[in-house]
Amino acid sequence: MNRILTLADIRLAAEALARVAHQTPLDRSATFSGMVGAPVYLKLENLQKTGSFKLRGAYNKIHQLGTEEKSCGVIAASAGNHAQGVAYAASHAGIRSVIVMPETAPLSKVSATRGYGAEVVLTGTSYDEAFARAKELAELQGLTFVHAFNDFQVMAGQGTIGLEIIKQLPELDTVVVPIGGGGLIAGVATAIKESAPHVRVIGVQASGADGMARSKACGALTMTETAMTIADGIAVKSPGDLAFEVVKRYVDDIVTIDDEAIAAAILMLLERAKLMVEGAGAIGLAALLNGKIFARGPAACLISGGNIDVNFIARIIERGLVKTGRRVIITTRVIDRPGALQKLLASIAACRGNVLYVHHDRIQHDVPLGQAKVQVSLETRDEGHTEEILTALQNEGYCVTKN
d(CA 336, CA 304): 56
Q: Which of 29, 43, 52, 54 is catalytic?
A: 54
Q: What is the DSSP letter of 126?
A: S
Contact 278, 262 (CB under 8 A): no
Burial class (CB in 10 A: 0-12, 13-18, 19+), 251: buried
- Identify the active-site residue in 52, 126, 238, 304: 304
49 is a catalytic site residue: no
Distances in Å between the Cα of 32 and the Cα atoms of 101, 115, 292, 300 are 35, 35, 15, 11
Residue 338, helix vs strand vs coil: coil
Please give the span between the terminal C-alpha atoms of the chain, in angstroms, as a whole number: 64
> At 196, which amino acid appears?
A
The answer to whether residue 373 is catalytic is no
Strands 74-77 and 144-145: parallel
E strand residue ranges, 180-339: 200-206, 253-257, 299-303, 327-335
Distance CA(87)–CA(101), nearest Å, equals 12
Name the phi and psi angles at 176, rounded to 5: -110, 125
Closest residue by Cα to residue 303 from 268, 337, 330: 268
What's the count of helices (H) and strands (E) in the chain, helices before strands? 16, 14
Give, to the nearest 10 degrees, the angle between helix 54-63 and helix 7-17.
90
CA neighbours closer than 13 Å in the CB half-sphere of residue 308: 30
Q: Which residues carry out catalysis? A: 54, 304
